[in-house]
């Protein structure tokens, strides 16, 4: 006796109503591999973004110091630190004091004395600029700071070394820069 086609299809559907254990294990393993790969990609992208952010922040701190100090050096004479300030013995704890004259933007103006002082606070990891009674942090996350006056050339050059370390979420980036500043040359 021949079974009708409709009954055969119904019987086959009844036998395959669910997944077998093997199919379930294979599907779970494939799913875990895909999730692991996606997690790895997300973690790698997050780490890369954190390092890129750290690099930008470190460069911004150094650039802020550089632009601020550049203006002060244009108005001042080379610093004359006692006891340090040479290439063999750079200053690390002593403030850099810049003195000079600032001309007002007037036709009959008289030059006024100008003094700017840069101080590195090792514990706070900041470099602060002091002018008159005001102060402003010009660089933060500064983990190393030194300066000296290079007298080997025709004109003195102030060499400032800075290390800035910035970190985000267990990743950190350290940028080291050596900056050269050319103070105003005064006639002897």
pLDDT at 87 over 80: yes
Region of 132 please: left (phi>0), alpha (psi -120 to 50) or beta: left
Choose between 164 and 46: higher pLDDT. 164
Give me the pLDDT at residue 16, please: 65
Secondary structure element (H or E) that encloses residue 25, with its range: helix 21-74
Reference 85, options 143, 158, 27, 24; nearest CA is: 158
Bridge partners (DSSP) of residue 142 are: 164
Distance separating alpha carbons of residues 138 and 132, to the nearest angstrom:
16
pLDDT at 114 over 60: yes
Give me the pLDDT at residue 1, please: 60
Instruction: Name the least confident of 7-21, 63-77, 114-128.
Output: 7-21
Instruction: Name the least confident of 16-20, 78-82, 115-119.
Output: 16-20
Burial of 84 (0-12, 13-18, 19+ CB in 10 A): middle
pLDDT at 3 over 70: no
**pLDDT tens-digit profile of 151-188?**
888 888 999 999 999 987 777 889 999 999 998 766 44
């Amino acid at each position: 006796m021949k079974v009708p086609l409709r009954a055969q299809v119904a019987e086959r559907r009844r036998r395959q109503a669910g997944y077998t254990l093997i199919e379930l294990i294979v599907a779970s393993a494939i799913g875990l591999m895909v999730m692991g790969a996606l997690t790895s990609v997300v973690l790698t992208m997050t780490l890369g973004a954190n390092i890129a952010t750290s690099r930008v922040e470190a460069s911004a701190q150094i650039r802020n110091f550089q632009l601020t100090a550049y203006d002060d050096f244009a108005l001042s004479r080379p610093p004359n630190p006692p006891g340090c300030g040479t290439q063999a013995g750079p200053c690390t704890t002593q403030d850099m004091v810049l003195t000079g004259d600032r001309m007002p933007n007037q036709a009959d103006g008289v030059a006024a004395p100008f003094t700017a002082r840069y101080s590195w606070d090792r514990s706070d990891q900041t470099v602060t600029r002091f002018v008159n009674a005001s102060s402003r942090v010009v660089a933060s996350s500064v983990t190393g700071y030194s300066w000296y006056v290079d007298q080997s050339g025709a004109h003195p050059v102030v060499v400032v070394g800075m290390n800035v370390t910035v970190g985000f979420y267990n990743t950190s980036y350290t940028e080291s820069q050596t900056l050269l500043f050319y103070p105003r040359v005064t006639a002897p």
